[in-house]
């Protein structure tokens, strides 16, 4: 398999602290690679090494099958990036900010208008970035990362600081990119739900180590959510469900269904109604990232 | 690539007051003499054998201070443009070499300082003419005292730019800068080897060109050291 990004034993130490250790990242072409991990897991450090902003303590990075150490500039020609908080020049307008990058990249001037349009900032092109909201700055950062029509786009927590509508907008934009422009996208996040909604492939890091790397479907098996029923007289209701051969748990208050497929939930509800219980709530209990990690490490799905 | 980076750096210093400072520096130095000669011209002309040389000496008393102060402010401004929102990471993730990024910053300030020196020459020449200091105009001396301080100050420029671009804490370049300005202020009492003395063009041999040559060579050396240190380090 040919990978757009492939790291081998990628390691970064800060003093005694091992921020990234032995990372083997493999990203096939056209994927949206969700790079998932809690704060401090080493996502930004990894991304900085992918961009040549940081020198690895050991290990190697290959992008487009080329060695980053030897062909950094040739590689970066086709990479767009947004690392951590967006960078900008507050005293310049949005247009001037992009112009300052465009001149170096060497794409035609019309490209500025195009990327501003993609992130819907064309109306404020002549306004100083100083007065922009956090969301607008973030969008400007994404516009900047798209300037050179990259084949690989690397976005480090791009929805940080955005309001819900901004998050949806960015998500829709990112989901279009592989199809519309043939891009491969890396997107990092500490939110399981965010990766779940966007990514096609997932890499999970914890304390600098990759503890899982596979398709989103494989990851969903770990992230399965529980369905919780709140009913009247929950103990009897639970016993009634068990009597009808359903698998469920009871915790003194609520009933938890162990098989949360749509049919199973529907059947359980039907039985409860038939048996004369009142159903107050049928809820999905979200699993936290920590729960998923626990499960991944427990099942020793070390990659 | 260098030309592109330079054009970008000139775009980035827009509205930041660097151009104003470039003009204000030499103007201030000559303006001080406008006050000086305005108040006591007759006395000053009486004091001197050669009115032009005497006038140039008065100007040069302040040139080195202005230039060291100017360098501290210019380098810290140009670094702050990238430091403010940590734009270094965005800039260096572009297909550019770190060496050329550094060279471009250095070149921009060198150009601004050079323009300052040209303006100093023009301002001091014009006001000298206005003062009517005599027919024999010492062009060579005027040129020397306009451009030698600039060359002699290159090590301070290289040092300040280096510190300003690699420091995580901007208090460090400012502190070094302030100490530098104080040293330049007391140039007369400093030993000859101290780079902050050089822009004053004072030395034990009484030959200003020595300071200019020293400045040029040590300036290039410090520049190269700073550039490779900048390249070696992880981006902030
Ligand atoms: N420049 C640095 N110097 C020292 N330690 C760092 C530096 N950058 C990151 N770290 C440390 O490395 C670890 C990983 O950080 P980071 O890559 O930013 O994590 P993430 O992006 O996943 O939140 C953290 O413990 C952080 O404190
Ligand atoms: Mg991070």
**Radius of gyration, CA atoms only, chain B:** 19
B88 contact residues in A (CB cutoff 8 A): 87
> Please, is B16 exposed, middle or buried when counting C-beta atoms within 10 Å of its C-beta (0-12, 13-18, 19+)?
middle
Strand locations in chain A (E): 3-14, 17-23, 26-28, 32-36, 58-63, 66-67, 79-82, 152-156, 184-189, 201-206, 209-215, 226-231, 248-250, 255-257, 279-285
Q: Indicate whether A125 pLDDT > 50.
A: yes
Q: Which atom of ligand 1 is nearest to the CA of A38?
A: 22
Average pLDDT for A16-33: 95
Break chain A into its structural domains and give their ranges.
3-221, 224-286
Contact assignment for B234 to A83 by CB distance below 8 Å: no
Q: Which CATH architecture has domain A224-286?
A: 2-Layer Sandwich (3.30)
Q: What distances in angstroms separate CA A226 from CA A247, A281, B81, one per listed residue?
A: 13, 13, 50
> Is A19's C-beta closer than 6 angstroms to any atom of ligand 1?
yes
Using CA atoms, how far apart are residues A11 and B52, in angstroms rounded to an integer? 67
* Residue A31: both structure tokens together: 């994927």
Task: Tell me what ipTM this predicted complex has.
Answer: 0.88
Atom 8 of ligand 1 has which residue's CA nearest to it? A45
Q: What is the pLDDT of residue B188?
A: 84
Distance CA B179, CA B171 (A): 12
Asked whether the beta carbons of B191 and B78 are under 8 A apart, the reply is no
Q: Which CATH architecture has domain A3-221?
A: 3-Layer(aba) Sandwich (3.40)
Distance from residue A290's CA to the centre of ligand 1 (Å): 19
The ligand minimizing its distance to the Cα of A83 is 2
Q: For residue A46, which residues of chain B lie inside 8 Å, CB to CB?
A: none
pLDDT band, very low/low/confident/very high, at B56 (cuts 50, 70, 90): very high
Q: Choose from A92, A100, A105, A107 for mutation: most chain B CBs within 10 A.
A: A100
**pLDDT digits 0-9 by tens, A225-281:** 778 889 988 899 999 888 988 888 888 888 988 777 888 889 989 999 998 999 999
Q: Residue A303 pLDDT more than 70?
A: no
Residue pLDDT, tens place only, A72-97: 999 999 999 999 999 999 999 999 99
**CA A255/CA A268 separation, integer angstroms:** 11
Q: Is the CB of A41 under 6 A from ligand 1?
A: yes
Please write the tens of the pLDDT for every residue from A144-197: 999 999 999 999 999 887 888 888 888 988 998 888 888 999 999 998 888 888
């Amino acid at each position: 398999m040919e990978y757009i990004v492939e790291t081998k034993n990628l390691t970064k130490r800060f003093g005694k602290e091992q921020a990234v250790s032995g990372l083997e990242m493999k990203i096939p072409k056209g994927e949206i690679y969700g790079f998932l991990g809690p704060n401090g897991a080493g996502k930004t450090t990894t991304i900085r090494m992918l961009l040549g902003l940081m020198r690895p303590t050991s290990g190697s990075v290959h992008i487009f099958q080329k060695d980053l150490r030897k062909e950094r500039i040739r590689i970066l020609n086709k990479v767009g990036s947004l690392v951590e908080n967006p960078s900008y020049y507050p005293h310049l307008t949005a247009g001037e900010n992009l112009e300052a990058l465009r001149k170096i990249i060497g794409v035609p001037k019309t490209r500025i208008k195009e990327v501003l349009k993609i992130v819907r900032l064309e109306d404020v092109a002549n306004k100083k970035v100083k007065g922009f909201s956090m969301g607008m700055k973030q969008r400007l950062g994404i516009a900047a990362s798209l300037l050179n029509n990259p084949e690989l786009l690397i976005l480090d927590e791009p929805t940080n600081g955005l309001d819900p509508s901004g998050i949806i907008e960015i998500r829709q934009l990112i989901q279009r990119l592989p199809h519309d422009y043939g891009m491969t996208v890396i997107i990092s996040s500490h939110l399981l739900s965010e990766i779940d909604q966007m990514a096609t492939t997932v890499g999970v890091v914890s304390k600098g180590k990759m503890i899982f790397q596979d398709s989103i479907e494989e990851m969903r098996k770990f992230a399965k959510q529980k369905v919780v029923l709140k009913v009247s007289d929950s103990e009897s209701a639970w016993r009634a469900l068990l009597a009808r051969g359903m698998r469920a748990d009871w915790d003194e208050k609520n009933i938890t269904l162990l098989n949360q497929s749509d049919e199973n939930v529907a059947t359980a509800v039907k039985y409860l109604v038939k048996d004369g219980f009142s159903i107050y709530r049928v809820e999905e209990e979200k699993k936290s990232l920590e729960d998923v990690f626990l499960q991944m490490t427990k099942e020793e799905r070390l990659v | 690539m260098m030309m592109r980076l330079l054009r970008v750096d000139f775009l980035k210093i827009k509205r930041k007051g660097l151009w104003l400072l470039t003009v204000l520096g030499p103007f201030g130095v000559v303006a001080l003499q406008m006050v000086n000669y305005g108040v006591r011209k007759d006395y000053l002309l009486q004091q001197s054998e050669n009115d032009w040389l005497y006038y140039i000496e008065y100007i040069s008393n302040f040139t080195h201070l202005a230039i060291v102060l100017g360098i501290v402010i210019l380098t810290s401004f140009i670094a702050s443009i990238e430091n403010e929102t940590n734009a270094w990471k965005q800039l260096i993730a572009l297909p550019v070499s770190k060496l050329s990024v550094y060279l471009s910053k250095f070149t921009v300030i060198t150009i601004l300082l050079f323009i300052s020196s040209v303006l100093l020459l023009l301002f001091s020449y014009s006001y000298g003419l206005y003062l009517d200091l005599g027919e024999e105009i010492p062009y060579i001396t005027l040129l020397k005292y306009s451009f030698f301080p600039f060359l002699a100050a290159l090590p301070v420029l290289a040092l300040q730019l280096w510190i300003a671009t690699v420091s995580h804490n901007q208090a460090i370049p400012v502190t070094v800068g302030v100490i530098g300005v104080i040293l330049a202020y007391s140039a007369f009492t400093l030993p000859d080897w101290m780079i902050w003395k050089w822009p004053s063009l004072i030395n034990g041999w009484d030959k200003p060109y020595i300071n200019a040559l020293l400045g040029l060579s040590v300036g290039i050396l410090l520049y190269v050291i700073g550039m490779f240190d900048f390249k070696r380090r992880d981006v902030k």
